[in-house]
A and B are shown apart, each in its own frame.
Chain A
Amino acid sequence: MSGAGPGGSVAPGPIGVHTRAAEGDLRARVLTAAEAMGLPLAGIGVSFALFGIFVGIAGANVPDVYYQMYRGAFGSGFSFQNTLVRAAPLMLTALCTAMPAQLGLVIIGGEGALVLGALAATIAAHALDGANAWVVLSSMALAGATVGGGWVALQGALRALRGVNETISSLLLNYIAIGIFKHLVEGPMRDPASLNKPSTRPIGEANALGAIPGTDVHWGLVYGVVACVAAYVLMRRTVFGFAAKVIGGNARAAQVSGLAVPAIVVVTCALAGAAAGVAGMVEVAAVHGTANASLIVGYGYTGILVAFLARQHPLGILPVAVLIGGIGASGGLLQRTEHLPDATVNVLQGILFIVILAGETLRGRFGALAPRAIGVPQSVRAEAKRAA
């Protein structure tokens, strides 16, 4: 996976670049950035058009559907905050796909790591019943990160040491994780007071992860943003990240040049899984207050879409998670006002995914946008690549 332009959609402005780059360099950078942002934006436009055709054929009033989606996602302060609440876990689960992608791995095990992270966080909260809320919340986050991290690290280790295909194993482990979750929540860990919906004992009001002051958005959003920024710094600005990128380019060459490939793979996967595990902890601590099947709503799978849409760029994940979170948030309104099925947003997500992947083929194909055009020296191309 070669990355986006300089910083993707959240690149340092061209003015900042100008001070330290030559004219040709600037041009190349701006064009690469324009392409890196323009293609996904065009893809989003095309996807919405195709989606409109789809719901139109299904008998819906298309302009009304678009309007309700906007209203449900960004139309009011309330709906925008709802969007951000949904974006928070998506940022974390997207990292679960995006970080291993730097190594050339396609890991789609975010759902399993989220579910088990939620379970571990709940167990931690129960074990520390009555302790200071800070202690409880930190332990919950740590437990979620450890279990989620271990779960995905296993996938990475099997890939690095035994050549087990990580895509299939991660997806299988999602089902196994959900099985373990359901067994414990409906069996040994079930709160007898939860009648219709098997749940664990609540973690307690005192231990709830609260809202960011002045908003209704919980602190999980801050976790998500911090994790994405940290992942960006680690994968794009450190020696470790550089080593990961070398492995992603050519694992055999990396091995020959003395990099500890299995160790780097396992550590990256552990961090990726830790992010998804924290997403599970956030859902328990901030949203549900207990572990039950309401947690399994596909944040892990939607995170894959977010990662691909952001072209696996850790900072690109931030705006994309807000967009996809908004689409998810509008689902309820579409059901109520347009009488469309709840799977409507899944259809749009599927279309988006396919259009974005197909759009990859157009990269570097636009004459005006191609940084490879005549007159751009080799060094600039290398620079643009390195910045990516």
Chain B
Amino acid sequence: MDRRIVITGLGVVSPAGVGAAALAEAVRAGRSAVGPITRFDASAYPCRVAGEVREFDPADGIRKDQTRYVRKMSKVMAIDIQLALAASNLAILDTGLPIGDPRTNEPVLPTVDHARFGMVFGTGFIPTELDDLAGPVQASRTDGRFSMSRWGTHGIPQMFPLWLLKYLPNMHSCHTGILWDAQGPSNSLTCSDAGGLLAVDEAVRILRRGAADRMLAGGAESRVNPTLLMRYCLLGRLATGGADPAAACRPFDLGRTGQVNAEGAAVLALEGLDTAQTRGARLYGEVLGTGCATTRAGIDACEADGRAVAAAVRGALQDAGAAPEDLGAVFAHGTAFEKQDQGEAAGLAAALGPAARTVPVTATKGVTGNMGAASGLADLAVALLLAKDGLVPPILNCERPDPRAGLAFVTGRPVPLAKDLVLATTHAIGGQTAAVVIRVTR
């Protein structure tokens, strides 16, 4: 029998605020956190809305020596990394593990075997902040043109020495590991939107093969910057219509016009049921099964039949030993990009079979926009918290659900969570697809 893996800590930083509860409450109430972009002047872009994280502090709530580390290093951490650190801190603090006393040189987590504490983080490739290159680029111009030769002599010397490290996608794991002395297995998955749920898949396998006692499964990404906003505009994937930012992202709605870029981080603290019970930990839920697959239609394509979504969902159900009718809710990826939504709906309908008519299907991106690698994990956190009230939240802005989907979309108001199993699924553009089945604790 495989080792049973439970979720004992949640950390979320999202456009709805700091903490998993802030997101769960916004999703339950159908309150949008999408707004006009304030981080930079987006007036030259066809899409000018995003899900921005307004205020957070990656040094909140941690020990003084940890705070010093974060304060010192934050200038060489892109916002993605800071978000990851903040959510990791929340998740670890939420586990209720005792924190060591720095005055007596206690380890930061004195009851934890640090060599057996690891993490897997979903991340994106982080584009450089434009300001970091502004001076060096100016210094490299001659006769009104950029000169590579001058970049070598005048540009490079103006860059700050740790520039590269500020943007490396493995730094989520590295800084979190340093801050919490986590010396166990450590990975950084660059699988776009699927990265967070794939991190759960891998973290669970690491725990089951006995290579660690506890793992963080995380995801963090920011797509609220001039470079990534441009990329998604050029790919024709962003919502453009409407004057009201709160109504911009409309998963599975007939009036959808595209996705909304966002930023955020979500982290689940995972451990064996055995160790969690021994220490009397609060159990949010249990990871029952994971599944993964891939789209083979091409890097920018959506599979119309949602074959990969169906395969990942079936795989997760099979791994969980569950049938579609055992599900109390499905949290779909639901980006609100039409072709992607349609393919996902087809895949879900195929995998759920006759149960598609009854299993409530919801999505949270109407509230947050697309938080990339954080998406599926944030959905699991929402599902776990709303399970306390026995609710499946509605899809914000899904006013005229696409009837071709053949799914039981939750619209308008929450519906009861009739069963304890919840599935979340996410997929990357043109590729990786993941699904996770959890049992929620009510």
A, B assembled together: no
- B residues bordering A, Cβ < 8 Å? none
